[in-house]
Every structure is written in C-alpha cells, then in structure tokens.
Amino acid sequence: MATDTIHIPGIDTPVSRVALGTWAIGGWMWGGPDDDNAVRTIHRALDEGISLIDTAPVYGFGHSEEVVGRALAEKPNKAVVATKLGLNWKDEKPFRDSTPARIRKEVEDSLRRLRVETIDLEQIHWPDDKTPIEDAARELQKLHQEGKIRALGVSNFSPRQMDIFREVAPLSTIQPPFNLFERTIEKDILPYAKKHDAVVLAYGALCRGLLTGKMNSETTFPKSDLRSADPKFQSPNFANYLAAVDGFKKLADARGKSVMAFAVRWVLDQGPVIALWGARKPEQVSGINDAFGWSLTDDEKKAVDDILARHVPNAIDPTFMAPPERD
C-alpha cells in the first residue's frame, strides 16, 4: 500500500498524509448519525492504510469521539487519534471556551469517550478571545507533562496567536481550512508552518464534498446540513464552483485519477501537509490510495490556477463556520 507518511513532532509513529475526518460521523450538521455505518467507515479507512483519525467533542457533542472510541476498541491497531477542545455548548449551540477549567474537563471527557489513556494530538479548536492564549497553552502543557497528551496543536489560529502559544508550550500542528477553493493559508499559515517545523492538518480538503465530483446543479441540502448555510453552495456561486470542478475533473481524467484524488494530491503537494478526508460511509473512503505516490506537474498546477481564475476569481472563505465568542 503506497501510503505517504509524515512525522508529527511529539508522536513517535509516522502517520499517513491523509487522515480520516469525522465531523460528519458525529451527525450534528450532517443530517444525523449512523453509528454502525460510521464504525465500518473507520475500519475501512484503517484497512486502506489511514493511520490518523481526527475528531472533536463538538462533532455531535461527544458522539463522534464515542464512535471513534468504539471503532478502535473493536479493531485494536496503532492508529493515532487527534481531537480538539476549546468549545463549549448550550442547547447544541457551540461557543468558544478555552478557560483552563474547561480544557481540563474536555481532556478528561475525551479520554473517556475515546477509551484511551493518552491523547496523541490535542488541538485548541478555535481561539478564545476572552481567555489569554498563554493561560490555555499553560494548562495544555501541564496535561502534556502529566502524560495525558503527547502533542499539542491549534486550529484556526493566526501567526500572532501561534507565537503567543509557542512562548509557553511546543506547537506540533496547525489545522486550518485548505483546499483548491480555500487557499488563504498560502499567504501566512503555510510559510509559518514551514518556518517552525509544524505540520498542517488541512481540514475541508474536499471542500465539504464539492471536490468529490458527485454534485451537480440539481444537488440540494436540507436545513440540517451545514452546506445549506455555505455561500459556495448557493446560486449563483454554486454553478461557478461546479464549472471549476468540471475543469479539475478533466485534468484528473488525463492522469487516470478521480477528481477527489487530484484535489487531495494538490493539497499534499503544498508542503508539510496532512489532508483530512471526511467520510461517513465506507464507500466514501474508496480511492484514498489514489492520492499517494505521485505529484502534480508544473503544467497541471498552472492549469489549476487558470481554472480558478476563469470560474472562481473571487474565492469565498469558510468564515460562516466560525463559532461565536461566549457571552
């Protein structure tokens, strides 16, 4: 199995450069859970050579972590598990909360739900402007020293916020949105990761299914699906994005690859990056290995930029996903 791997500082075992993303498995904002199918999906990903699973408490308010814990208990292996913290919720409405007390509680809850003694990678999900970053980092460093966490990361942080974090604790990973359509991190986050030897976990590598090539102009989303609030999936933007996907598909076809594998390979070619491949059904994991063992040519990279300039000259960032600060 031609799985590309990368080393995350603080974790002894190299991990696959495609990780399984489990937001949809939690059910919340994705039309509800399907646990048996989710467990089969995780097992299928492991069979395909995926050795990193990324989850978070807010994905189904603990449910995704519980399903991941169940799946790994049913099929013991050496998978590395990344989770997150720093969000709280009331009536299924998340808000940011990185207070030290909340951090410690979330770690204990995640250990229980995941059925592990140590969390491989713990990440602050979103910066909390009402809690000093150094306070959050200091609590995470304590938990690391207690042996409850192996490596630390952040998600959706700016370079300045990461500088503050790094003054207190080591930073192994950075998790921002990154895909063919959402490329803001090329300006600052990606250079920062390279400079400071951090690994980027690119979430939304398939842009919430847009880059699977399985959507068309008739595709719709219920209100329970977060894509119903994503302007990319609304008219007239949706047609422009679909036209770009058609262009990418032609490039992929010429390579004998799926558009999914092409999109993920583009992400992997940008630097020290792990692409998160979200799935909730076993068949959605099919084709992961097609992203390994090759790279885009310079001509293909230029063709990608030309397609984007033609169809999506003003890309839309996924700011709609940002949770509010706490009251």
Catalytic residues: 59
Whether the bond between 272 and the residue before it is cis, its omega within 30 degrees of 0, is no
Angle at 324 between CA 170 and CA 176, to 5 degrees: 40
- DSSP string over 218-233: T----TTBGGGG-GGG
How far is it, in rounded angstroms, from Cα 82 to Cα 15?
11
How far is it, in rounded angstroms, from Cα 258 to Cα 287?
8
Residue 284, C-beta contacts closer than 8 angstroms, at least 6 positions apart: 41, 278
Element (H, E) at 251: helix 237-255
How far is it, in rounded angstroms, from Cα 253 to Cα 250?
5
Structure tokens at 157: 């942080």
Residue 250, C-beta contacts closer than 8 angstroms, at least 6 positions apart: none
How far is it, in rounded angstroms, from Cα 62 to Cα 212?
27
Which residue type does 86 have?
Answer: G
Surface-to-core class of residue 31, CB atoms within 10 Å of its CB (0-12 exposed, 13-18 middle, 19+ buried): middle
How far is it, in rounded angstroms, from Cα 307 to Cα 319?
23
DSSP state of 271: S
Structure tokens at 208: 């919430």
